[in-house]
Amino acid sequence: MPTGPAAALAALTLIVNASVLDGTGAPPRQVAVRIDAGRIVEVGDLTPRAGETVFDAQGLTLAPGFIDTHSHADDDLFEHPDALADVSQGITTIVGGQDGGSAYPLKKFFGRLEHKPAAVNVASYSGHGTLRDRVMKDDFRRVATSKEVEKMERLLDKDMKAGALGLATGLEYDPGIYSAPSEVTALARVAAAHAGRYISHVRSEDRNFWEAIEEIVAIGRDARLPVQISHTKLAMKSWWGQSDRLLKRLDEARASGVDITADIYPYLYWHSTLTVLFPKRDFEDMDEARLVVNEIAPPDGLILTQYDAEPTWVGKSLAEVAASRNEDPAVTLIMLVRRAEERRKATGDAGESILGTSMTEEDFEALLRWPHMNLCTDGSLEGSHPRGFGAFPRVLGRYVRERHVLTLEEAVHRASGLAAEHMGFRDRGFIRPGLAADLVLFDPQTIADRATITAPHTVSDGVRTVWVNGQIVYQEGRVTGRRPGSVLRNSSTQGASTSLP
């Protein structure tokens, strides 16, 4: 195989001896792929041309670069432009602005990325929470007035014109949790006017989950735009085993004309904050604390990943902290939130985050099989959840090779072509002439995640080479230093999803 800068910069490359999965879900084909100036120009029975770099895939699987439809890599991409966490698992495009939080304004963020590209392509939603914060500032613990909603609409309109994919909400988080459904629907209509989309960390993933599902269905119906559920889960014991009920409701919504889709990451534990465990934001409510430890996150499955009020507790579970204090876990939970909130008031930052276990393997596998479910990481480049480094290889290793939940071609489709369709990308996600040369070469027999809770930044096995816009950004366990990523804009924006560096 060619290596080094010459290989990475080759304008004309022919990849031979690959088992090609084109991203459609079709079986693999033994064909060659020609790349020129960042694009796929030919696929088929091809012979090398004079002066062309020939890349021998040695029988491994060549797939479209993976698209992470729910990423937090945009948070620190300028500090880590090589994006090791992403490219090492075959991700070539990340979609940021998630959970209601986005860069502001997006026009400036996109301009900065075009001036200083990263190793991966970047798209972004406009975050509802960000817009709400700009308009309502500290006075956000209430329903917005009509004039305030109008101001948010104007800000969203600017972001959409700059190229936002649509509107993203985080309705379990501040400040979005205080919004009325009518506020979100009004903003979704602005996104729809620009042929945009809506993606949501729904208003509840536990206590009021079914009502939250009805809300996103209603937004899709009333605003007439595609809607997507972020990091789908049944995160409460009372709902375990009811994945069929959820999928039946989503299928009904689709049959009625609502274009609803979803994404998922392959872990049974999530990463968030203590605050999110108390939707009424009453941090002294002992009944809520008992509900949390009995229904949502068992004490031995709720782990502190950051706790600046008492750093020695980081890495410990709620059960361990409670035992050290000889307390009931619910009492300890109240104490932990209280101390974090006291720190927030004193410094402006609560300085806390948690991992919580609250899902079942059976539900996850049922959700993964849904034909309209694509993959995501919900991870960041330096996060404390292993999903940031391991999500896509974990699906291909554990759920394809070991558990046979999906076939290899189905999983690649979820990671590439289906994800592209869900995000509205028209020029990538498939291996076909005319599309961007975002590609990943991997070994289906060895690909596997290696990141863990205690070592979340461990690089996965099995990913050999990754191309972004025709340039090699990752090869044999190392980034190359090339940063050919593009900004991908909403397809209604002039020049959207077509510019290459």
Q: How do residues 232-289 score in pLDDT, each as one tens digit? A: 999 999 999 999 999 999 999 999 999 999 999 999 999 999 999 999 999 999 999 9
Q: Are residues 124 and 190 in the same domain?
A: yes
| Average pLDDT over every residue of 351-362 | 95
Q: What does the pLDDT look like over 196-228, one tens digit per residue?
A: 999 999 999 999 999 999 999 999 999 999 999
Let me know whether 365 and 306 are in one domain: no
90 and 231 assigned to the same domain: yes
Q: What percent of the chain has pLDDT over 90?
A: 95
Residues 386 and 237 placed together within one structural domain of the fold = yes
- Asked if the structure places residue 35 within a domain, the reply is no
- Please write the tens of the pLDDT for every residue from 86-95: 999 999 999 9
Dihedral over alpha carbons 77, 4, 391, 414 (to 10 degrees): 100
Whether pLDDT at 498 is above 70: no
pLDDT digits (tens, 9 = 90+) for 346-355: 999 999 999 9
More confident of the two residues 226 and 493: 226
Is residue 229 one of the residues assigned to a domain?
A: yes
Residue 286: how many other CB atoms lie within 10 Å: 13
Question: What is the pLDDT, as a whole number, of residue 491?
Answer: 78
Residue 200 lies in a domain: yes
Q: What is the CATH number of the domain that holds 136?
A: 3.20.20.140
pLDDT exceeds cutoff 50 at 31? yes
Enter the pTM of the model: 0.94
Residue position matching structure tokens 């404390």: 384
- pLDDT classification of 423: cutoffs 50, 70, 90: very high
pLDDT at 6 > cutoff 50 = no
Neighbours of 486 (CB within 10 A): 26
Q: Same structural domain for residues 196 and 213?
A: yes
Domain shared by 163 and 240, yes or no: yes
Question: Do 252 and 294 fall within a single domain?
Answer: no
| Domains held by the chain: number | 2
The answer to the question of residue 345 being in a domain is yes
Q: Is the pLDDT score of 432 beyond 50?
A: yes
User: Do residue 171 and residue 226 come from a single domain?
Assistant: yes
φ/ψ (deg, to 5) at 375: -95, 155
Alpha-carbon distances, residue 333 vs 132, 158, 302, 311, 336 (angstroms): 29, 42, 10, 16, 5
454 alpha carbon, distance to own chain's centre: 22
497: pLDDT strictly greater than 50: no
Greater model confidence, 497 or 425: 425
Whether residues 73 and 196 share a domain: the answer is yes
160: nearest Cα among 202, 118, 132, 131: 131
Beta bridge partners of 452: none
| Residue scoring higher pLDDT (48 or 6) | 48
Provide mean pLDDT across the span 463-475: 98
pLDDT digits (tens, 9 = 90+) for 63-105: 999 999 999 999 999 999 999 999 999 999 999 999 999 999 9
Q: Report the pLDDT value the prediction gives residue 492, as an integer from 0 to 100.
A: 72
> pLDDT value at position 499?
36
Residue 500 lies in a domain: no
Residue 496, pLDDT > 70, answer no
Q: Are residues 208 and 77 in the same domain?
A: yes
pLDDT of residue 493: 64
pLDDT interval class at 55 (50, 70, 90): very high
For residues 363 and 337, state if they share a domain: no
246, 236 Cβ separation under 8 angstroms: no
Is residue 489 pLDDT above 80, yes or no?
yes
Please report which confidence band the pLDDT of residue 5 belongs to, taking 50, 70 and 90 as the band edges: very low
Q: 304 and 235 in one domain?
A: no
pLDDT in the model for residue 8 = 44
Is the sign of the CA dihedral 357, 359, 365, 370 positive or negative?
negative
For residue 7, which amino acid is it?
A
What is the per-residue pLDDT across 367-391, written as a single tens digit (0 to 9) for each?
999 999 999 999 999 999 999 999 9
Looking at residue 408, its pLDDT comes to 98
Can you tell me which residue has the tokens 């990475």?
Answer: 8
Peptide bond into 105 cis (omega under 30): yes
What is the domain range of residue 214?
Answer: 65-268+359-423
Segment 336-353 shows an average pLDDT of 95
Cα-to-chain-centroid distance, residue 302: 22
Which of 352, 445, 376, 435 is CA-nearest to residue 86?
376
pLDDT, averaged across the chain: 95
> Does the residue 52 lie in any domain?
no
